[in-house]
């Protein structure tokens, strides 16, 4: 809300070299991360990436085999979940089926013995999620969206300085999901506390967060702002997971890279010389001959076109690879299945990324 | 993983009451009983088993038991299948009504249900009145003490179990599969034969095993509705133990019954495991 | 979804089957209200004489014994079965299959074998002819019912509920007390009702372990049926029909509240 209050009420979280294995299977490998107080951070990854395990370690449901979790610089080793001052939302809502909406929300206050103005505060929390009239209902009488709103009220009613969101939106349909994304963001802005969200949905992660942590194979692959992540993925893994990019296998030498069929392109990007994957975003590809402005230009055969409303997606065969381009409808008249044309994109939009073992060509 | 040792202690503590109870009141007593069958005057001996095999009476009892159990199982299956199928396919209200109609007798004491057959099948019972009214018999006679009476009573007792086992399996069949079969040109009968029936086989097997194992060890109804010629294994054990005090022979016949029951248990456990016994929500 | 002919065939079969299933029950109920001294069906008139006879002939002690044994059996079965169900649902351990087979065996092994083996074992240690002995015998069969009913719910039980409780300030014990147990209670109740019912209706173990000193209801009915077909038995049967219906009602209510829980 105000800066003065923010410093007091938000937890800064430090993940320090955390490793965790279930039996012989390593789920987290030496993960380190600083989460600044008051930020909205999303752990993004596929199932099995370790994101949920990391969240559960932060919550105190699991303990790390090695490494530590620090809240505001204080080690959480040996501090049980109920003393970590959390709020939490779950994919399954996890509303107590034998309690009314009111009792569900009040639970977070009662368990902490914090029962001053109980009814009023529960009422305010329900108002915040626009469920004022539902206090005496049972959760099973509510829709999915309403249930998750109750869970949200329960998570925030005690003003916890740290809120954990364990894929809270993934059980909802698209429209509700987008609506709740906005509400959660709004609540984060007004509460000013730290939110740690877990999801496998790239759009949700990029749309809601101040900072996104891409996880894969138990390792933090990249932690960055959404824009940075989108424009400058550090590896083919990240680019592939964020989706949308064309990825082409190539061999880099200096500012140039050679595709398997011998086509040479000018490239930018962090990967050292050797095998690389070239990431090209479809919306940065254009059609047409054009002047020799130094752009990468390759002849292509259109395989299929797909109308997207504001643009047309063109799937084309380029030098033995499959490439996607997304061009405005007005510029795509020449694109018919079977047509031959030239696709162009700028060298600075051709990111050479360290190749992922076993990575494949084509659109991710 | 850390906590593996701790976890082992938790499991042990959770299972301890059950292990103590079953060790003391189930496994050990059954073992004591079995040991009676292979000892004669304190010495190991198979003399009881030889007597069992050489006495036509015991072999006859075993044969009768198996015969009645097989017939009961088959008839229950034939009568029960359409009921279960209707239950699964009917609308929600009809389904609840049918479930109720099957569950109430299921929960009713065996003795009560058998007693009502004694009332109906007796010399002056309702069945005779109807038969005489129809002119099918002239002189009333008792239908009791016959194999038919045993079967009529036993099948009625076992039928709900069979229906519920079938129903539980049928609810797992995807309803659209029959529509898919019809869409691809199968007649109703062929769709049933090629799709529904094979998919309901787990229920058929579970229901048949449960019905059979319950009938093999059944005591009450055969004892009340049957005569000496319908004596089943449980009855002969009871007679040997409680009336003749021939404990070694009672133990020996028990072993036969136990072996049959446990053989079915092994098959059932391999196919289904414990949870299937619940038959859904009963 | 279901064609006309199909429906007709099924309904016809079902009607015949249900008549066969229910008619005897109706007969017993009707005869129990008969004004006749004999088992006439249909009865010439109606009265409550046979229910009064229940009181006069000292059946009450049988009801009391059966109630005692049944309640204790339900209690013991719950105390033994609930932890076992937790172990089966939440932990993996060696001999798990064998333990499940043991529970299955406790239901499937014929009652006559349980009866005479327990009698042989209990007689020398003084447990034969005691209520405790019979309760132990019935608990052997009661435990699997508790386990089976709870196991289904526990497997579907969302452990995030406990996590949610702890995240919002409950200690692990508080989480179990305020969330886990209340959510599971209906299923435990259903298991306990099953354990009670099987105890109240079990004949052979009761006959061997208590039958010579006390007469639990099943034993008393058994002796009554063997000696005479007096309508008093029908009246006792009538009360058992009511018991079955009551149990069914309890179970139906419990299941309805259980369905509320997220699967």
Helix/strand/coil (H/E/C) assignment for every residue in A10-70: CCCEEEEEEEEEECCEEEEEEEEEEECCCCEEEEECCCCCCHHHHHHHHHCCCCCCEEEEE
Residues of A with Cβ-Cβ distance to B1 under 8 angstroms = 21-23
Chains with at least 3 CB pairs less than 8 angstroms from chain A: B, C
Mean pLDDT of A154-162: 94
| DSSP conformational letter for C46 | B
pLDDT confidence of residue A83? 92
Nearest CA in chain A to B4: A23
Strand order in the sheet with A321-328: A286-287, A340-345, A296-307, A311-318, A321-328
Report the b/e string of B232-270 with b at 16+ CB within 10 A: bbbbbbbebbbeeeebbbbbbbbbbbbebbbebbeebbe
pLDDT confidence of residue B188? 79
pLDDT confidence of residue C134? 95
Residue A250 scores a pLDDT above 60:
yes
Residue B36 scores a pLDDT above 60:
yes
Residue range(s) occupied by CATH 3.40.50.300 in chain A: 3-229
Which tens digits make up the pLDDT trace of A105-137?
A: 999 999 999 888 999 999 999 999 999 999 999
pLDDT band at A290 (very low <50, low <70, confident <90, very high): low
DSSP string for residues in C201-242? H--HHHHHHTTTT---HHHHHHHHHHH---HHHHHHHHHHHH
Helices C217-227, C231-260: crossing angle, 10 deg rounding: 140
Give A158→chain C minimum CA distance, Å. 9
Contact in structure between A286 and A327 (CB atoms under 8 Å):
yes
Contact in structure between B209 and B264 (CB atoms under 8 Å):
yes
Backbone angles phi, psi at B218, to 5 degrees: -75, 145
Question: Does the domain spanning A3-229 belong to CATH 3.20.20.100?
Answer: no
Give B90→chain C minimum CA distance, Å. 9
Residues of C with Cβ-Cβ distance to B234 under 8 angstroms = 110-112, 204
- Is residue A284 less than 8 Å (CB to CB) from chain B? no
pLDDT band at A361 (very low <50, low <70, confident <90, very high): very low
Nearest CA among C200, C177, C204, C189 for reference residue C252: C189
- CA distances to B110, B144, B261, C33, C195 from C39, in Å: 19, 15, 38, 11, 33
In whole angstroms, what is the distance from residue B113 CA to residue A138 CA? 42
Give B54→chain C minimum CA distance, Å. 23
Contact in structure between C166 and C175 (CB atoms under 8 Å):
yes
pLDDT confidence of residue A125? 94
pLDDT band at A2 (very low <50, low <70, confident <90, very high): very low
Q: Inter-chain contact C39–B277, Cβ cutoff 8 Å?
A: no
Q: Tokens 């449980």 — which residue?
A: B234
* A157: Cα within 13 Å, side-chain hemisphere: 37
Angle at C200 between CA C115 and CA B207, to 5 degrees: 75
Nearest CA in chain C to B8: C93
Contact in structure between A142 and A104 (CB atoms under 8 Å):
no
The torsion defined by the Cα of C165, C171, C173 and C176, in degrees rounded to 10, comes to 0
Mutate which of A92, A97, A109 to disrupt the C interface (most C C-beta within 10 Å)?
A: A97
Strand order in the sheet with A66-71: A25-35, A13-22, A66-71, A74-75
Residue A359 scores a pLDDT above 50:
no
Q: Tokens 């809240």 — which residue?
A: A71
- Is residue A90 less than 8 Å (CB to CB) from chain C? yes
Q: Tokens 């095999």 — which residue?
A: B53
Residue range(s) occupied by CATH 2.40.50.100 in chain A: 238-357
Residue B10 corresponds to which tokens in the numbers above?
Answer: 């938790």
Nearby residues of C132 by Cβ (< 8 Å), 6 or more positions away: none
ipTM of the complex: 0.88
Mutate which of C158, C167, C173, C182 to disrupt the A interface (most A C-beta within 10 Å)?
A: C167
Angle at B158 between CA B152 and CA B163, to 5 degrees: 120
In whole angstroms, what is the distance from residue B149 CA to residue B117 CA? 8
Residue A254 corresponds to which tokens in the numbers above?
Answer: 């200096």
Which tens digits make up the pLDDT trace of B171-214?
A: 888 888 888 887 887 887 888 888 889 999 989 999 999 999 99
Q: Is B45 exposed, middle or buried (0-12, 13-18, 19+ CB in 10 A)?
A: middle
Number of neighbouring beta carbons within 10 Å of residue B205:
16
Nearest CA among B32, B226, A207 for reference residue C120: B32
**Which of C158, C160, C168 is facing A111, going by the closest CB pair?**
C168
User: Domain spans of chain B?
Assistant: 56-278
Residues of C with Cβ-Cβ distance to A158 under 8 angstroms = 168-169
- Within a domain: residue C137? yes
pLDDT band at A7 (very low <50, low <70, confident <90, very high): very low
In whole angstroms, what is the distance from residue A275 CA to residue A260 CA? 11
pLDDT band at B63 (very low <50, low <70, confident <90, very high): very high
Residue A89 scores a pLDDT above 90:
yes
Q: What is the tally of structural domains in chain C?
A: 1
Number of neighbouring beta carbons within 10 Å of residue B198:
12
Q: Inter-chain contact A80–C166, Cβ cutoff 8 Å?
A: yes
Helix/strand/coil (H/E/C) assignment for every residue in B2-67: CCHHHHHHHHHHHHHHHHHHHHHHHHHHHHHHHHHHCEECCEECCHHHHHHHHCHHHHHHHHHHHH
In whole angstroms, what is the distance from residue C145 CA to residue C149 CA? 6
Question: What's the mean pLDDT when you consider all of chain A?
Answer: 88
Q: Inter-chain contact C174–A111, Cβ cutoff 8 Å?
A: yes
Which tens digits make up the pLDDT trace of B245-271?
A: 888 899 999 999 999 999 988 888 777
Q: Inter-chain contact B1–A22, Cβ cutoff 8 Å?
A: yes
Q: Inter-chain contact A158–C167, Cβ cutoff 8 Å?
A: no
Residues of B with Cβ-Cβ distance to A63 under 8 angstroms = 2
pLDDT band at B280 (very low <50, low <70, confident <90, very high): very low
* DSSP H or E run through A326: strand A321-328
Q: Is A347 exposed, middle or buried (0-12, 13-18, 19+ CB in 10 A)?
A: middle
Contact in structure between B136 and B54 (CB atoms under 8 Å):
no
Residues of chain C scoring pLDDT < 70: 1-3, 258-263
In whole angstroms, what is the distance from residue A359 CA to residue A357 CA? 6
**Which of A82, A91, A138 is facing C260, going by the closest CB pair?**
A138
pLDDT band at B39 (very low <50, low <70, confident <90, very high): confident
Question: Does the domain spanning B56-278 belong to CATH 3.40.640.10?
Answer: no
Q: Inter-chain contact B2–A21, Cβ cutoff 8 Å?
A: no
| DSSP conformational letter for B195 | I
Which tens digits make up the pLDDT trace of B64-115?
A: 999 999 999 999 999 999 999 999 888 888 888 999 899 888 888 899 889 8
Q: Inter-chain contact C171–A82, Cβ cutoff 8 Å?
A: yes
C→A contacts (Cβ < 8 Å), by residue, are 158, 160-161, 163-172, 174, 178-179, 182-183, 257, 260-262
CATH at residue C133? 1.10.3720.10
What is A238-357's CATH number, 2.40.50.100, 3.40.50.300, 2.40.50.140, 3.90.1150.10? Answer: 2.40.50.100
Residue B156 scores a pLDDT above 90:
yes
In whole angstroms, what is the distance from residue A234 CA to residue A222 CA? 7
Mutate which of A22, A52, A96, A125 to disrupt the C interface (most C C-beta within 10 Å)?
A: A96
Residue B276 scores a pLDDT above 70:
no
Chains with at least 3 CB pairs less than 8 angstroms from chain B: A, C
Nearest CA among A164, A162, A168 for reference residue A181: A168
In whole angstroms, what is the distance from residue A299 CA to residue B51 CA? 95
Mean pLDDT of A26-35: 94
Which domain covers residue C130, as residue numbers? 58-260
Nearby residues of A193 by Cβ (< 8 Å), 6 or more positions away: A6, A9, A10, A11, A38, A159, A160, A161, A162, A163
- Within a domain: residue C141? yes
Nearest CA in chain C to B178: C1
């Amino acid at each position: 809300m105000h800066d003065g209050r923010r410093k007091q009420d938000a937890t800064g979280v430090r993940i320090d070299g955390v490793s965790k294995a279930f039996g012989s299977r390593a789920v987290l490998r030496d993960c380190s991360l600083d989460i600044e107080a008051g930020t909205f951070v999303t752990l993004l990854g596929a199932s099995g990436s370790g994101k949920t395990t990391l969240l559960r370690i932060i919550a105190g449901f699991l303990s790390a085999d090695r490494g530590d979790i620090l809240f505001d610089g204080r080690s959480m080793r040996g501090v049980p979940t109920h003393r970590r001052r959390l709020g939490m939302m779950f994919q399954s809502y996890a509303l107590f089926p034998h309690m009314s909406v009111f009792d569900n929300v009040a639970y977070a206050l009662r368990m902490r013995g914090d029962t001053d103005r109980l009814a009023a505060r529960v009422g305010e929390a329900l108002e915040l999620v626009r469920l004022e009239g539902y206090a005496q209902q049972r959760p099973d009488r509510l829709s999915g969206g309403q249930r998750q709103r109750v869970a949200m009220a329960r998570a925030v009613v005690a003003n916890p300085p740290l809120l954990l969101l364990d894929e809270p939106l993934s059980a909802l349909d698209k429209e509700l999901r987008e609506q709740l994304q906005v509400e959660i963001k709004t609540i984060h802005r007004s509460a000013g506390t730290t939110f740690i969200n877990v999801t496998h949905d790239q759009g949700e992660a990029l749309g809601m967060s101040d900072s996104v942590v891409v996880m894969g194979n138990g390792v933090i692959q990249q932690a960055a702002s959404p824009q940075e992540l989108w424009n400058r993925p550090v590896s083919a893994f990240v680019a592939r997971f964020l989706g949308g990019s064309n990825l082409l296998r190539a061999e880099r030498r200096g500012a140039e890279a050679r595709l398997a069929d011998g086509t040479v392109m000018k490239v930018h990007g962090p990967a050292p010389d050797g095998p690389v994957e070239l990431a090209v975003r479809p919306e940065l590809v254009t059609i047409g001959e054009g002047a020799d402005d130094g752009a990468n230009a390759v002849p292509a055969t259109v395989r299929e076109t797909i109308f997207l409303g504001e643009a047309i997606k063109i799937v084309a065969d380029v030098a033995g690879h499959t490439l996607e381009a997304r061009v405005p409808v007005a510029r795509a008249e020449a694109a018919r299945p079977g047509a031959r044309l030239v696709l162009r994109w700028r060298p600075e939009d051709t990111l050479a990324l360290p190749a992922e073992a076993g990575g494949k060509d084509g659109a991710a | 993983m850390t906590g593996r040792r701790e976890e082992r202690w938790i499991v042990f503590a959770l299972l301890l009451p059950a292990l103590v109870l079953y060790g003391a009141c189930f496994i050990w007593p059954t073992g004591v009983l079995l040991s009676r069958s292979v000892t004669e005057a304190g010495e190991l001996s198979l003399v009881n088993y030889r007597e069992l095999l050489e006495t036509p009476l015991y072999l006859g009892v075993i044969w009768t038991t198996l015969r009645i159990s097989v017939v009961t199982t088959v008839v229950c299956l034939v009568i029960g299948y359409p009921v279960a199928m209707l239950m699964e396919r009917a609308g929600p209200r009809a389904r609840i009504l049918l479930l109720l109609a099957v569950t109430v007798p299921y929960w009713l004491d065996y003795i009560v249900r058998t007693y009502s057959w004694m009332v109906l099948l007796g010399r002056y019972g309702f069945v005779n009145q109807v038969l005489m009214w129809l002119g099918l018999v002239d002189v009333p006679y008792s239908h009791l003490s016959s194999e038919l009476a045993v079967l009529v009573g036993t099948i009625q007792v076992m039928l709900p179990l069979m229906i519920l086992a079938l129903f539980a399996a049928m609810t797992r069949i995807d309803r659209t599969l029959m529509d898919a079969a019809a869409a691809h040109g199968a007649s109703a009968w062929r769709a049933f034969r090629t799709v529904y029936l094979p998919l309901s086989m787990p229920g058929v097997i579970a229901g048949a095993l449960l019905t059979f194992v319950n009938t093999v060890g059944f005591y009450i109804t055969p004892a009340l509705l049957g005569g000496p010629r319908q004596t089943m294994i449980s009855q002969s054990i009871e007679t040997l133990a409680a009336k003749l005090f021939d404990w070694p022979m009672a133990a020996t016949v028990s072993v036969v019954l136990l072996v049959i029951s446990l053989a079915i248990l092994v098959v059932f456990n391999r196919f289904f495991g414990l949870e299937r016994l619940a038959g859904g929500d009963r | 979804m279901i064609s006309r002919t199909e429906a007709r065939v099924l309904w016809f079969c079902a009607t015949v089957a249900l008549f066969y299933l229910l008619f005897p029950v109706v007969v017993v109920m009707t005869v129990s209200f008969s004004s006749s001294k004999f088992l006439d069906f249909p009865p010439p008139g109606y009265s409550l004489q046979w229910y009064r006879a229940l009181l006069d002939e000292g059946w009450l002690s049988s009801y009391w014994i059966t109630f005692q044994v049944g309640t204790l059996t339900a209690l013991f079965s719950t105390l033994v079965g609930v932890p076992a169900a937790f172990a089966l649902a939440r932990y993996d351990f060696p001999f798990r299959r064998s333990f499940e087979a043991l529970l299955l065996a406790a239901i499937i092994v014929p009652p006559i074998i349980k009866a005479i083996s327990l009698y042989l074992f209990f007689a020398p240690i003084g447990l034969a002819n005691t209520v405790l002995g019979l309760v132990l015998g019935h608990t052997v069969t009661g435990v699997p019912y508790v386990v089976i009913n709870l196991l289904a719910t526990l497997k579907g039980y969302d452990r995030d509920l406990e996590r949610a409780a702890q995240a919002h300030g409950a200690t692990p014990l508080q989480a179990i007390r305020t969330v886990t147990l209340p959510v599971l209670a209906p299923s435990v109740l259903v298991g306990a009702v099953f354990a009670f019912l099987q105890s109240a209706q079990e004949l052979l173990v009761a006959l061997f372990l208590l039958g010579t000193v006390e007469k639990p209801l099943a034993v008393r009915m058994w002796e009554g049926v063997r000696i005479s077909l007096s309508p008093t038995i029908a009246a006792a049967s009538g009360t058992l029909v009511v018991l079955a219906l009551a149990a069914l009602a309890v179970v139906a209510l419990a299941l309805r509240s259980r369905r509320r829980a997220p699967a």
